[in-house]
Structure 1
Amino acid sequence: MAEQQSGRGRGRVSPLVAAGRVAACTASLAVLGTSGFTWYAYHSLTDGLSTSQAVEAIRKGAPPHLDNSVNLLLIGLDSRFDMDGNPLPDNVVSEDLHAGSSSNIGGYNTNTLMVMHIPANGGKVTALSIPRDDYVQTVGADGRMHKIKEAYEIAKYAAEQKLGGKKLSHAELERQSREAGRKSTLATVQQFLGIPIDHFAEVNLIGFYDIAKALEPIQVCLNNAVSDPIVSRTATREGGGTGLRLPAGISSLNASDALSFVRQRHNLPGGDLDRTHRQQAFISSVEYKLKQDGVFGDLGRMQSLFDVVKKDVVLDSSWNILDFAQQAPNLTGGNVEFNTLPISGFKTVGGEAVNTVDPALIKRIVQQLTGHDPAPPPPAATAATAATAAETPAATAPAATAAPGGERLTGTVDVFNASSVGHAAGAESRALVALGLTEGRIGTSGSHPKSTTVGYGSGARAAAEQVAARYGVAATASDSAPAGHVVVVLGSSYAGPPATGAGSTPGSDGSDEPESALPMQGPAVKAGGIPCVN
């Protein structure tokens, strides 16, 4: 069977395993977490757990791994059916889920697709959301271009047609056809991002609701008040508005409103893209609640969450949660940054609105963030640069060939732009690399300081002080900066490269975006609290 009830293993293991199970489901629209306060019998956690072989099926031909890091795909399935394919009661769909009038609305679209890259040796976890309407080449569906959310449904229904003559039970037909949907989704995401997918967790609408019910109330924060009236409860595919009404600031949500919070797309300035940021913020809020409430130390509350996981969530069968938990201590420490992969525009295909994307840019962003495309060595370390420098008269050498103090710098520099100057982060990054630093992350800042700020991680103080002198500010230690990194945020008052620096221009190919830039769709959402979003 594609899904199986797993009871393998009778050893004993830490609640790292337990919290990992909860993590998987809740993180599909909730949270990942680890803990180690006592021991559980392993069979009590695995008996009745639904698992899948889909990851094993897509390993062949996957991009290679560079280290022992983990790429986890979180799938939020927009389905109003239970695990056996039975429709949810209409009153549950309309009154509890606020998802239209009946289970006939919608299908098997994956309205949440988020990859979490967990470094092998600790450090910041990078979470990347894929907008559901991105128009991409699908794998294992019909092989055509579709919205990425549709890969699951297309492959599922194609499998149903092939399996229809085998006289399977309704439940078995549902399990095998869903397995085809998972394989297609995993393979499509893997190809689109250019990285291997190691594990996945899938949860549907009722699963999210049950998880939120076990955790309510859950606090969220909005930048502005919202009103999303239910226009119609007729059996349309999208189901109309969610009925959510919340003021600006922090609100405490029950399970129904929590589901509405992560599903609202109407009456938001960014539509679907704002909904993606909502999902990211919700994960952060739930992780924060679990930690603040001491859930990881409460056996009874943890067990209730495990029961939900077993009922509503599918995990891949190869996922060793103990090993994973040992790799992921930062997930509960707020050391997670959520970003949304960029789109290039919108168009209409077959009467439907889609997001256009640049697949090459997406791969470059993802591979650089996950270490698959290491930053090149600084120019001073290359033979070509050395030869060029030897032929350049001192009087005409760029001003940025040395740090303000005269010596070359060491370390990695991350540059983020909060100013109105276009391509400033890429230009400043190249100027700082010319001082000897290694290029790090480049992008748009999620904060908006007036003045440029320079922070640094352990071991990077000297370089940070030299960089800070370039902007006439003081360098400060930062707990969020990785070891050896200098983090520059160009403030709103930034007007262009300092007079002492060479600056730079956009890419030599004449494109608007510098070659090293890592643009994202909107600001980052950072874990560790209750972030405010639209």
Structure 2
Amino acid sequence: MARQHLDGAGGGADEPGTPRAREPEAPYAAAPATAAHAAYVDAAYAPEALDAPAGGKEVPEDTPADPDAAPSPAAPSPTAPPPAAPRRRMSRGRKVLLGAVIMLFAGVLLAASGLWWAYEHYTGRVDRIPNAFPTNVPEKHQPARSKGGETYLLIGVDARSDLPLTGDEAGEHTWEPGAQRSDTMMLVHLPEGRDGGYVVSLPRDSWVTIPGRGEAKLNAAFSYGGPPLLIDTVQRMTKVRIDHLAVIDWSGFKRLTDAVGGVDITIDETTPRRNGGGEWTAGTHHMDGETALDYVRERHGLPRGDLDRTQRQQNFLRAVVTETMAADNFSNPLKVKRLLDAVTATVSVDDRFSDGAMRDLMWDMKGVRSDDLVFMNAPVAGLDMIDGQSVVLLDDKAGDPLWEAMRNDTMDRYVEKYPTDRLGGTAP
């Protein structure tokens, strides 16, 4: 079936710049109390301190002593302090032990403050997209808050667009009509227990109703009205409330792929390679960032067109997550910094997503690995040609249980009960 696309494949564009970084805050300085305390201890237990009078009236030197008189305690002065008990000198071993405990405690504090500074530094570096959510939406089209978990709309921006959405080059305004295209749209549901995640791809060629614009491909919503119109379109289509927005650019993923040393991607069957010529041979390939980006963008030679392309995107995303979360990446501080720099340069989020909420999410999801993520396509009824465009027809009847499960935080039950177009071990 011949297919042509309204928006085309696009040409090359510069990669987005690095987000503006906040000035790092100085870690807490060590308190000088340790040295002062040691000096106090030495003075208090010195020999001359132990031999000094403890208190009471002073006896004049010319007072004769009575040898027959029994010794009697000196009468206490009404204003003098009570006699102090004799002090024992602290042993050298105890001093050393005390100093070691103090130094250990100070080290723990410094390490904790350093970790907190890293959280503050890198979450603060993530660019925020202002006014990302729609306003003036009729009440009947505003979905209720989900009964558990959170749902994110992940937008993959074609970096070949004229204007970047991420980094310093995005400027004050991150969107202009017709200037950018969203070639990837995924709903990511994180259950309340934060023990995994469910990634549902919405094909970019899905034929949908765009508020105020009529029927068109789903990715046209972003081109027409940026993030607010795309969010409004997806919410009306699924009746799922979008809690947060995240925008990635595939050029940023290219840098992230290189930062982890490349990724292993398994291709299920040999297919033509339009970008760069040749073919994608069946088997496992170790890809650098540029090769992986060509793999993700490929669409024309795939048997199911846009549907297979979404699975390639999922396959690549899973491979990057697997490599990024590998244990050896976190044993080298320099590698950790390089990874965090690449991640923060790749992702932008809505301005409602605070640094504190981002830190909480990172902490809650620290144990999740790629095997805990389920990737799938939204249910599709078939492919068609409308107005000379190749489009994907979503299956509304089969989609209703999926969106209901997302609203009710019961995605685990859904994947057990319903057949899904899930990403398996490989992709085309």
Q: Normalising by structure 2, what TM-score?
A: 0.63
From 499, 503, 525, the counterpart of 2:423: 525
Answer whether contact 2:146 2:406 (CA < 8 A) is retained: no
Q: Which residue matches 2:305? A: 271
Q: Deviations over 1:66-112 (max 9, x none)?
A: 444111111111142453799x9xxxxxxxxxxxxxxxxx9522111
- What runs of 5+ residues in structure 1 fail to find an aligned partner? 13-36, 89-105, 156-180, 230-240, 376-413, 415-439, 443-486, 488-516
From 106, 129, 148, the counterpart of 1:52: 129
Determine helix, strand or coil for the equivalent of 2:213: coil
Q: Which residue matches 1:64? A: 144
From 222, 240, 250, the counterpart of 1:152: 222
Q: Which residue matches 1:405? A: none
Answer whether contact 1:209 1:255 (CA < 8 A) is retained: yes
From 139, 146, 153, the counterpart of 1:73: 153
Is the alpha carbon distance of 1:151 and 1:331 closer, same or farther for their aligned partners in structure 2, counting shifts above 3 Å?
farther
Question: 2: distance between equivalents of 1:48 and 1:330?
Answer: 23
CA RMSD of aligned residues (A): 3.4
Pairing 1:235-246 to 2, within 5 Å after superposition: 241-243=275-277, 245-246=279-280
Q: Which amino acid aligns with 1:197?
A: I
Structure 1 residue 219, shift from structure 2 partner: 0.5
Answer whether contact 1:243 1:260 (CA < 8 A) is retained: no
Structure 1 residue 49, shift from structure 2 partner: 3.1
Q: Which residue matches 2:294? A: 260
Q: Which amino acid aligns with 1:71?
A: T
Pairing 1:8-47 to 2, within 5 Å after superposition: 38-47=115-124
Q: Which residue matches 1:163? A: none
Answer whether contact 1:8 1:46 (CA < 8 A) is retained: no
Determine helix, strand or coil for the equivalent of 1:344: strand
Q: Deviations over 1:264-318 (max 9, x none)?
A: 1122222211111111111221222123352244332232233334444321122
By relative contact order (CA 8 Å, sep 6+), the higher-ranking structure is 2
Determine helix, strand or coil for the equivalent of 2:187: strand
Pairing 1:478-489 to 2, within 5 Å after superposition: none
Q: Which amino acid aligns with 2:152?
A: L
Question: 2: distance between equivalents of 1:84 and 1:187?
Answer: 19
Q: Which residue matches 1:83? A: 164
Pairing 1:317-396 to 2, within 5 Å after superposition: 317-319=351-353, 320-329=357-366, 331-332=368-369, 334-371=371-408
Q: Which amino acid aligns with 1:50?
A: D
Q: Which residue matches 2:325? A: 291
Structure 1 residue 38, shift from structure 2 partner: 4.4
Question: 2: distance between equivalents of 1:46 and 1:123?
Answer: 22
Pairing 1:159-170 to 2, within 5 Å after superposition: none
Question: 2: distance between equivalents of 1:63 and 1:10?
Answer: 40
Structure of larger gyration radius: 2
Q: Which residue matches 1:136? A: 208
Q: Which amino acid aligns with 2:281?
A: P
Per mean C-alpha deviation after superposition, the further-off stretch among 302-311 and 217-226 is 302-311
Structure 1 residue 333, shift from structure 2 partner: 5.6
Q: Which amino acid aligns with 2:126?
A: L
Per mean C-alpha deviation after superposition, the further-off stretch among 121-130 and 323-332 is 323-332
Answer whether contact 1:10 1:42 (CA < 8 A) is retained: no
Is the alpha carbon distance of 1:310 and 1:118 closer, same or farther for their aligned partners in structure 2, counting shifts above 3 Å?
closer
Q: Which residue matches 1:122? A: 194
Per mean C-alpha deviation after superposition, the further-off stretch among 39-48 and 362-371 is 39-48
Q: Which amino acid aligns with 1:302?
A: V
Determine helix, strand or coil for the equivalent of 1:40: helix
Q: Deviations over 1:387-417 (max 9, x none)?
A: xxxxxxxxxxxxxxxxxxxxxxxxxxx9xxx
Question: Does 2:256 correspond to 1:211?
Answer: yes
Percent identical across equivalent pairs? 23
Answer whether contact 2:166 2:347 (CA < 8 A) is retained: no
- What runs of 5+ residues in structure 2 fail to find an aligned partner? 1-18, 28-113, 170-177
Question: 2: distance between equivalents of 1:53 and 1:85?
Answer: 12
Question: 2: distance between equivalents of 1:324 and 1:306?
Answer: 15
Determine helix, strand or coil for the equivalent of 1:533: coil
Answer whether contact 1:11 1:42 (CA < 8 A) is retained: no
Is the alpha carbon distance of 1:123 and 1:64 closer, same or farther for their aligned partners in structure 2, counting shifts above 3 Å?
same
Question: 2: distance between equivalents of 1:371 and 1:9?
Answer: 41
Q: Normalising by structure 1, what TM-score?
A: 0.51
